[in-house]
Amino acid sequence: MDFVFRRAYHGRIKLAVFDWAGTTVDYGCCAPAAVFMTGFRRKGVMISMAQARAPMGMEKRAHIAVIAAMDEVAATWRSVHGRAITEEDIDELYADFAPLLLETLAEYAALIPGVLGCMGHLRQAGVMIGATTGYFDAAAEIVVAAAVRQGYAPDSNICATQVSAGRPAPWMIYHTMERLGVFPPEAVVCIGDTVPDVEAGLNAGVWTIAVAKTGNEVGLNESEIAALDAETVAAKVQRARTRLAQAGAHYVVDGVWDVPTIVDAINGRLAQGERP
Name the residues annotated as catalytic. 19, 60
- Rounded CA-CA distance 168/203 in Å is 7
8 A C-beta contact, residue 35 and residue 101? yes
Distances (CA, A) of 43 to 30, 77, 169: 21, 9, 30
Checking 140-147 for CB contacts under 8 A at 24+ apart, the result is 140/20, 142/102, 142/105, 142/106, 142/109, 143/20, 143/21, 143/25, 143/105, 143/109, 146/25, 146/106, 146/109, 146/110, 147/24, 147/25, 147/109, 147/111
8 A C-beta contact, residue 27 and residue 112? yes
